[in-house]
Amino acid sequence: MGLTHVTTTVWNLAKEGQPYEADFLFDTGAIDCLVPADALAAAGVKVERKKVYELANGEPVEYDVGFARIAFMGEETVAQVIFGPPHVEPILGVVALENTGIVVDPTTNTLKRLPAVPLK
């Protein structure tokens, strides 16, 4: 699969202050969203706890996580976000996409909106 990017805006839960906006990579292997920690802090997103993730090379790493409002393609949801290292490329996780009814079209490697969010 090719690289799919989408302009995404991240706010704190109250949607107060200055949001973070960037082109996020959508990775079908990523469950949660990953954003540089300094960008999340500047947007007022709070650390809720720590969570262990497995990197692509199999190495476990512990990150701070929190919850944020995430908007892209005219949709908005609340999702778990990882406080990533500085200058990390932001990743839009599959949970945020599924919450909004947006999927990756495997033929064109583009994001498309489902006509309805499945309940099954």
Mean pLDDT of 12-32: 93
Residue 2 has pLDDT above 60, yes or no: no
Higher pLDDT, 87 or 1: 87
Tally: H helices and E strands in the chain: 2, 9
Task: Indicate the pTM of the whole model.
Answer: 0.89
Q: Where are the domains of the chain?
A: 4-113
- Residue-wise pLDDT tens digits, 39-75: 999 999 999 999 999 988 999 999 999 999 999 999 9
Mark 83-116 as b/e (b = at least 16 C-beta within 10 Å): bbeeeeebbbbbbbbbbbbbbbeeeeeebeeeee
Least trusted range by pLDDT, from 10-24, 57-71, 95-109: 95-109
From 3.50.50.60, 3.30.70.270, 2.40.70.10, 3.10.450.50, which CATH number describes the 4-113 domain?
2.40.70.10
